[in-house]
Every structure is written in structure tokens, then in C-alpha cells.
Amino acid sequence: MRALVYERPGEVRVADRPVPEAKPGEVLIKVAAAGLCGTDRHIADGSYHGTPGIVLGHELAGVVEAVGEGVAHVAVGTAVCVDPNLACHSCAQCRAGRPNLCVNAQAVGVTRDGGLAPYVAVPAELATPLPSGLSPVHAILGEPLSCVVHALDRVNLQLGTRAAVWGLGTAGIMMIQCLKAMGQETIVGISHHADHRELALRAGATRIMTQEEAMDGLEVDLAIEASGSKTAFEPAFNALAPGGKLLLYGVMNPWDTVTLKPETMFRKELQIVASYVGPKTLDRALALLKSGAVDARLLLGDRLTLEEACQWVLKQGPRRKAKAHVIFDDSFLD
């Protein structure tokens, strides 16, 4: 089979790989589709640790093709989304109920083979059955949405919160859709890309702005940094009303630093909350996709070939719309 393989920092290629087998405790998944994400680019350029030689792809869904020895709870033929994060279940963080902070964490498409290939074998515990009626192609949004759901859990969002989202890529648009689903009245979308701002309006933003406009007196209770750009940190922080929260969501580079005004933070009793991946939130994410509260059709962007996906990951080729993805099995298209 042909797979998108991360060789080493700066080197990603489409390579031939044998179809994997389901080892004891694993399921073999026939991949319907897999999404591409900024994290893949960070792995490719070496700024996010990935294991050399693995197949990329941590946002995937498909159908169970075979089960390994000892797998009882997932049957062949079940449509599933993969939760890529595998915790050890025994370290102090896992014991404390924070599997996303597991010190021995493994991840599909990061430290072991992922779904940018027609087949992938994963530990059975990661295979999450889809709600009936949800297309596996739409379900590739389950993983990124599970991270968004966890992030909004982390800020204990209250009704009537005035919110603004910096960065209107997939995560930012999902944030807006969730804020809308929760009935928030003020949802500001901020981006310098005109097409992203337009998408944000369709997703439910009540107002859209450029970063420059947002720096001119915008005041919110919740500022969400979903761009991964350090230049958004200060404007987001400065937009906080007294008692406000800044949610750090976008993946910045490890060497990025930002300037913070502790006196402002103290005087306004501000909070900065970070959120890392999406533990135990995949089922809720899939429910939001099934209900349409988060509209997959709005989010799914350009369909790429594996070669185009390779270019995308290496930041070559044209700029792509919304969630770029690869579909391996056309029978799931609707």
C-alpha cells in the first residue's frame, strides 16, 4: 500500500508499505479518510516530536477490517473513529485522571503508524464506534473537535460570555460552531485571511475582524488563541475584560516567547488556561458532528491525493481551503 511516511525532520515522502496485521489487542482499520493538520507540519519540520519512519495521520476514520487476538468489544465491520492518544494507564498523571498528560504517551500518526494510508493497525481501545448515520469521512473531524471540546471544558464556559477567536483555521471555526451551539451572543472571529473570515460568519460568528481592528478596543470575557502564532498572544491578552480568561489553544513553536503584563493580570484577576489534546471527549465530538451542531460540510476543505498531502505537509504547493484531507475509500462519499 502507498503511505505518507515521515522519514526525518524536513523529509516526508509517499512510500510503499506492507498492509499491517492486527497484533494481539489491536484492530486493523480500512481507512475511509484522514485529515491533515498543523501538527503534521510541525512533525515534518522537526518542531514537534514524531518518531522517524512512521506513517503520518492522526485524524482518521474507517471500518474495522480484522481484529487481533483478545479483542472482544469491537467487531469486524464496525465504523470507527480513532482516538490517536494512547496513555499508559499507570503513570502518576494517568492515575490522577489526566491521560492526555501521560508521561509515556504514544500517539497514532506521531509515535506509531497513522492513517495516511489505506490501512492502519491501532490498539483496540482507541477505536471509537461512530454514532449511526455519521459518515466516516465527516468523522475525521472527530479528533480535532475532541480537542476543542476539551478546551472549552477547561474554561468552564458560562452562558452570556463574550468570546473572540484568534485564528480561523479548522480549530477556530470549530470553536465558533461550539460557541454558537452553546448559545453565546458575542462571538468575534479574527483573521487576516478574507476567506477564513467569510467562513467564520457562515459558522456563526456574530462579528469578524482583522487583527489590527481587534487591537482597537475589543473587550471580551474569553479570548481564544487558536492561530498558533505568537503575534496573537498580546492582542488576545489585551482584549480581556476584568475577570477574563485567555485560552491557549494554537500550537506555537517550542522556541516562541511572548510578553506578559503581570500587573494587568493581577489587577484584572485574569486567567490563562492551556489545553492539550482531547482526553475522553471523542464521543461528545462525534455526537456534535452527528447532530450538525458542528457542520462537517462547512469544515471539510480540499480533497488531496497522497502526493498533494506530502506537499501540504512540507508547506509546498498551493494554499488549501479549510480541512485538507485524503479520501482512501470513495464508497463513503455522499
How far apart (Å, rounded) are the C-alpha atoms in residues 266 and 262?
A: 6
Closest distance to Zn ion from the beta carbon of 128 (Å): 16
Question: In terms of CB distance, is 48 or 131 closer to Zn ion?
Answer: 48
Closest distance to Zn ion from the beta carbon of 87 (Å): 5
Question: In terms of CB distance, is 14 or 91 closer to Zn ion?
Answer: 91
Whether 242 contacts 269, CB under 8 Å: yes
Residues that bind Zn ion in the complex, under the rule CB under 5 A: 37, 39, 87-88, 91, 94, 102
Please enumerate in sequence order all residues whose Cβ is within 8 A of that of 202, keeping only pairs 6 or more positions apart, or say none. Answer: 298
Quick check: is 78 catalytic? no
Question: In terms of CB distance, is 83 or 221 closer to Zn ion?
Answer: 83
Q: What is the 3-state secondary structure (H, E, C) of the chain?
A: CEEEEEEECCEEEEEECCCCCCCCCEEEEEEEEEECCHHHHHHHHCCCCCCCCCECCCEEEEEEEEECCCCCCCCCCCEEEECCEECCCCCHHHHCCCHHHCCCCEEECCCECCCCCCEEEEEHHHEEECCCCCCHHHHCCHHHHHHHHHHHHHCCCCCCCEEEEECCCHHHHHHHHHHHHCCCCEEEEECCCHHHHHHHHHHCCCEEECHHHHCCCCCEEEEEECCCCHHHHHHHHHCEEEEEEEEECCCCCCCCCCCCCHHHHHHCCCEEEECCCCCCCHHHHHHHHHHCCCCHHHHEEEECCHHHHHHHHCCCCCCCCCEEEEECCHHHCC
Closest distance to Zn ion from the beta carbon of 278 (Å): 10
Closest distance to Zn ion from the beta carbon of 259 (Å): 28
Residue identified by cell 477505536 is 127
Whether 171 contacts 90, CB under 8 Å: no
Quick check: is 42 catalytic? yes
Closest distance to Zn ion from the beta carbon of 37 (Å): 3
Question: In terms of CB distance, is 268 or 280 closer to Zn ion?
Answer: 280
Closest distance to Zn ion from the beta carbon of 58 (Å): 6
Active-site residue, from 42, 58, 138, 325? 42
Question: In terms of CB distance, is 35 or 189 closer to Zn ion?
Answer: 35
Question: In terms of CB distance, is 100 or 184 closer to Zn ion?
Answer: 100
Question: In terms of CB distance, is 94 or 220 closer to Zn ion?
Answer: 94
Closest distance to Zn ion from the beta carbon of 1 (Å): 22
Residue identified by cell 485564528 is 167
* Catalytic residue positions, numbered: 39, 42
